[in-house]
Amino acid sequence: MVSPDRLNAETIIAKKRDGGELSEKEIRYFIENFTQGRIPDYQASAWCMAIFQRGMSQQETIALTRAMAESGETIDLSDTLDYVVDKHSSGGVGDKTTLVVLPLVAAMGVPVAKMSGRGLAYTGGTLDKLESIRGFNVHLSPEQFKTRAAEYGIVLAGQTHELAPADGMLYALRDVTGTVSSKPLIASSIMSKKIAAGADGIVLDVKTGSGAFMRTIDDAVDLARLMVQIGEGTGKDVTAIISDMNQPLGHAVGNALEVREAVETMQGSGPADFVEHCVMIAGQMVRLAGKSYELDLSDIDTELRTRLTNGDALAMFRRMVEAQGGDLRQLDDLNLLPQAPVRRELKAPHAGYIREVDARGVGLATLDLGAGRRKKGERIDHAVGVIVHQKVGDHVDAGDPLFTIHARKEEHASQVAIDLATCIEWADRPGLPLFYDVISTR
Ligand code: URA
């Protein structure tokens, strides 16, 4: 480790605040000392804010990723498995893709080993969702992670003190300090976990739109390119998909509600947009592992759709839940998953077409209900959330349901109902308009 006499946190923060380029040595110093508890949260938060404001060069981002990946153990799966794939989303609303895609890919005969995160800002996290299942253990040691991957062909865990701990610690700070949507911080967060977890192939689901951290397609493409470059530099096969997050994915937003929708999808009754999304992400994972030769997945499309709904994917999901201590009775009877005591339906005030369902607004409403965190380490409520009944382009009649709010208390439902009403934009015809305005001199 670099001697603390020569470097210190304050000067590194100030250098970044003033727009300077940090050396690899400075970045390593900061990450190592933060991980060991020698740099406190308030300095790490200030550093994140400086990076958020000033950005990082590609070189700095690669150095940060490496330092975070090496802040704990890195797992080598190559002695037990030939080719392991992983996926990661840049964060969305209603994004329960991992819950379906991991077992689907495993059901296609490709081993999957994934390190996931918790909710971040107004987006949900896979670990929080899975913890809706009583007993499900996301805290696996590197040894357990490896053994589960080899024995079951499927494993999903969170950061521990051993695996990419720097990301776990920074992630929890970024979640509550307004420093999430920064390309270098997202890229290093995602790729450090991927490198530490040892997969050979990685599919990145980079979201763009109102509910994504990258609002524009250009920003999403930049983030995707950055992560692909990091992957290349570390010997990983990486495919990035830029996907829409202008409306929530599927219908369910909230931890247990999303587990329910994921299981229903594997039982054959998933929302159409979510099914398409899962088939695409799973297909690209399987393609990386050499089971498909077509970029459009036409050679494996039928098999993917069959395994998604014929019980194969669900059997794999059950296998993972059982192996990680989860209560299978909650999957056999979905009503045993946590349920919120208050349900409030919001109805359409008039007929029309849905032009927009603001994904960010729905995410924030869900956060207000208690499904995510406002403070570091806060307990979350697995039962609460929102069901979004309509998708963009749908026609609704007056009185049709728009949202069902699942709340802990009546007053929470009342507040969130006001906010959700503003999340819908109406149109008098289906789909998005081609033109918004004409501005002319005559
Ligand atoms: N997912 C992550 O793991 N990290 C981020 O910063 C954003 C999404």
Per-residue b or e along 405-437, where b marks 16 or more CB atoms closer than 10 Å to that residue's CB = bbbeeeebbebbbeebeebbeebeeeeeeeeee
Ligand 1, closest atom to CA 180?
6
pLDDT value of position 438: 82
What fold is seen in the domain 85-333+435-440? Pyrimidine Nucleoside Phosphorylase; Chain A, domain 2 (3.40.1030)
From residue 418, how far is each of 144, 193, 414 by CA, in Å? 46, 38, 7
Report which ligand 1 atom has the smallest distance to the Cα of 117: 3
4-55 and 85-333+435-440, same CATH topology: no
Architecture of domain 339-426: Alpha-Beta Complex (3.90)
| CB distance 117 to ligand 1 below 6 Å | yes
Is 4-55 CATH 2.60.40.1660? no
User: Which residue's C-alpha comes closest to atom 3 of ligand 1?
Assistant: 190
Q: Kindly list the catalytic residues.
A: 88, 167, 174, 189, 193
Confidence at residue 5, expressed as pLDDT on a 0 to 100 scale: 56
What are the boundaries of each domain within the chain? 4-55, 85-333+435-440, 339-426
Q: Kindly state the helix (H) or strand (E) to which residue 88 belongs, with its residue range.
A: strand 85-89
183 — phi, psi (to 5°)? Answer: -60, -50
The reply to whether the predicted model has a pTM over 0.75 is yes
Q: Mind listing the pLDDT tens digit of every residue in the chain (442 residues)?
A: 445 458 999 999 999 999 999 999 999 999 999 999 999 999 999 999 999 999 999 999 999 999 999 999 999 999 989 999 999 999 999 999 999 999 999 999 999 999 898 988 889 899 999 999 999 999 999 999 999 999 999 999 987 888 899 999 999 999 899 999 999 999 999 999 999 999 999 999 999 999 999 999 999 999 999 999 999 989 999 999 999 999 999 999 999 999 999 999 999 999 999 999 999 999 999 999 998 888 889 999 999 999 999 999 999 999 999 999 999 999 999 999 999 999 999 999 999 999 999 999 999 999 999 999 988 888 999 999 999 999 999 999 999 999 999 999 999 999 999 999 999 999 988 876 667 678 776 6
∠ Cα 43 48 53 (to 5°): 125
Q: Is 91 in the pocket of ligand 1 (CB under 6 A)?
A: yes
| Distance in Å, CA 190 to ligand 1 centroid | 5
**From the alpha carbon of 116, which atom of ligand 1 is closest?**
3
